[in-house]
Structure 1
Amino acid sequence: MGQPFCFDDKVVIVTGGAAGIGSGLVRDILSQDARHVAYLDVAQREGEVLERELINVFGTLKVMFIKCDVSNETQLNAAFKKVLNKFYKLDIVINNAAILTAEDTLYKRMVDVNFTAVICSTMMALAAMGNDKGGSGGVIVNVSSMLALKPNMHLPVYSATKAAVLQFTNNIATNDLYSKSQVRMMTVCLGPTDTALLSKQFSEHFDNGCTHCIASRTAERQRVESAVKGIIDVIKKAENGSTWVIANNEPPVDITVSVKEGVRIVCNKC
């Protein structure tokens, strides 16, 4: 990667940034002297409250809340344009937005937010940042889950969307595309984390589903701060196309070789 990566003077977009891991990422990146962080969320009240707080700490030009339903391509495109029109560049996109629901009638909503929106945002980010598109390169991080690594009968749609995020990122993050775009793309698979996403309704199924996803790992619930620090570390050091597990309040673990070996074994049996 050459020189050590830093957030100084970077323009960043974080989806799902009004609360939880997203808001933690916004705070942390701003504290590392980013030029500007724009965060997207449908939660207008939470987003505006956080924006006022962060403006008081970092200044008006440093942060911007954009109310946006990431599953709405028109709204997402408008959010990207708003950032680009103001700062004329984009350096990092973190696709963090996700929902988890037990409502059978809302499964399409989960697919749209958790997966389809990640595809749209990734494509928009590549168009804005790619060297081959007139940009200066950059970083895309797509947030998946340890449930992408192991089937879960209790959360089948959520698990499937996160597996799709992992496979999509691994398939698009080719060395050929990277050589043209100079945009690094990575996947982070989060273990159970203390956020509003894990209500009592889902926490047991989520925790149990993550247990033994990776050898010697359990499903200890991690702090939001640990997840945030792990994602920041991945942005700073990870290679294009790599996959990382962030769980148990421990540093990120590179599982790229294991993921690719699993695919190779399956392909050899086909």
Structure 2
Amino acid sequence: MEIRDKAVVVTGGASGIGLALVKAFLDNNVSRVAVVDLDSRALDSTRVELSEYRERLVFIETDVTDETAYRSALSEFAADCGGIDVLCSNAGIARSGGVEAPNKDWIDSYKVNVMAHIYGARSVLESMTKKGEGYLINTASAAGLLTNLGAAPYSVSKHAAVGLAEWMAITYGPLGIRVSCLAPQGVNTKMLFPVGETLVDSTVPQRSVLSFGEVLEPDRVAACVIDSMIKEEFLILPHPEVKKYLANKVSDYNRWIKSMSKINQTIAPASQ
């Protein structure tokens, strides 16, 4: 995959992993980047921070769960730059709790973490297929391969995101469309550490993430994405230990369930 001179869209692009991806693409000399985000303040801040690249940036405030508005925004960007080459469907939310979590948390998780990927794909696949090339990158999570203790809506929706990426890779790969699935563990963003929260009063999901590996900075994750795109790897694992955890899981599912249950019993009481 040659990244240079490509037109790229990054959703959730005004903060966290999304912002790091925007910077990484700019460093790799793409032609245009659409920074898509719902947070107008974050977009304004990003516009100022990246002012030196303003000729290559387009800032789009839209809700990726509103299919009409989202697809309209992508169509406008595509018309302006001659087509979208890379779509990083990165926007996501984290909702904790178990099956008792409010319906809204379950529905919102599905809308953002799954349906937004579908809306984005619908917007670009026809043109990519006609050209015989294109790249879709869906941000999921290690929780979509394993689980995130204490966060059922997040874990379940991220499993669906992984499944969607797999299906698209199998279906559209022969047509020249590359598909990758980004599945990090802990990353130092507001999703893991919301403003005002500390490790001392962290939640079960946070403790779960922190107990399994290093918390990476977003720029390290973005660098891993660029490297994996060049190699055209499906599964992007910034935390290499996730591959080992996944192998352990599929080699003996019962043992893995029992092991995770023990860890859950250790972590949960400590945060209640």
What TM-score do the two structures reach when normalised by structure 1?
0.80
Q: Partner of 2:65 in structure 1?
A: 71
The gaps in structure 1 that reach 5 residues or longer are 213-217
Kindly report the root-mean-square deviation, in angstroms, between the aligned alpha carbons of the 2 structures.
Answer: 2.8
Partner residue of 1:183 out of 177, 184, 194: 177
**Alpha-carbon distance in structure 2 between the residues aligned to 1:186 and 1:18:** 21
Partner residue of 2:87 out of 46, 70, 93: 93
Q: Which structure carries more relative contact order (alpha carbon 8 Å, separation 6+)?
A: 2
Contact map agreement 2:150 2:204 (CA 8 A) in 1: yes
Q: How far did 1:135 drift?
A: 2.4
Q: Partner of 2:218 in structure 1?
A: 224
**Alpha-carbon distance in structure 2 between the residues aligned to 1:152 and 1:179:** 33
What letter corresponds to residue 3 of structure 2 in structure 1? Answer: F
Q: Provide Cα deviations, 1:29-78, integer angstroms capped at 9, x if missing partner.
A: 11211100001110011112212432x31242x00110010011011111
**Alpha-carbon distance in structure 2 between the residues aligned to 1:142 and 1:221:** 20
Q: How far did 1:143 drift?
A: 0.8
Q: How far did 1:211 drift?
A: 7.0
Q: How far did 1:253 drift?
A: 7.6
Q: Provide Cα deviations, 1:162-215, integer angstroms capped at 9, x if missing partner.
A: 1111011112211x53222x1100111111000011133896533543478xxx
Contact map agreement 1:41 1:68 (CA 8 A) in 2: yes
SS at 2:190 equivalent: coil
Moved more, 195-204 or 81-90: 195-204
Q: How far did 1:258 drift?
A: 4.9
Q: Partner of 1:215 in structure 2?
A: none
Q: How far did 1:142 drift?
A: 0.6
Q: How far did 1:84 drift?
A: 1.1
**Alpha-carbon distance in structure 1 between the residues aligned to 2:124 and 2:247:** 28
SS at 2:189 equivalent: coil
Q: How far did 1:219 drift?
A: 1.9
Q: How many residues get paired? A: 242
SS at 2:164 equivalent: helix
Is 1:108 the counterpart of 2:107? The answer is yes
Contact map agreement 1:207 1:220 (CA 8 A) in 2: no
**Alpha-carbon distance in structure 1 between the residues aligned to 2:202 and 2:219:** 18
**Alpha-carbon distance in structure 2 between the residues aligned to 1:219 and 1:207:** 12
What letter corresponds to residue 162 of structure 2 in structure 1? Answer: L
Q: Partner of 1:245 in structure 2?
A: 237
Q: Provide Cα deviations, 1:95-133, integer angstroms capped at 9, x if missing partner.
A: 110011347233211210111111111222212312xxx
**Alpha-carbon distance in structure 2 between the residues aligned to 1:245 and 1:28:** 17
- Alpha-carbon distance change, 8 to 151 in structure 1, aligned in 2, over 3 angstroms: closer
Is 1:57 the counterpart of 2:52? The answer is yes
Q: Provide Cα deviations, 1:192-248, integer angstroms capped at 9, x if missing partner.
A: 000011133896533543478xxxxx3221111111111111111124xx223212x
SS at 2:10 equivalent: strand
Contact map agreement 2:225 2:236 (CA 8 A) in 1: no
Q: How far did 1:81 drift?
A: 0.7
Instruction: Give me the identity figure in percent.
Output: 24
SS at 2:36 equivalent: strand
What letter corresponds to residue 57 of structure 2 in structure 1? Answer: V
- Alpha-carbon distance change, 153 to 38 in structure 1, aligned in 2, over 3 angstroms: same
Moved more, 226-235 or 202-211: 202-211
Is 1:22 the counterpart of 2:23? The answer is no
Is 1:165 the counterpart of 2:157? The answer is no
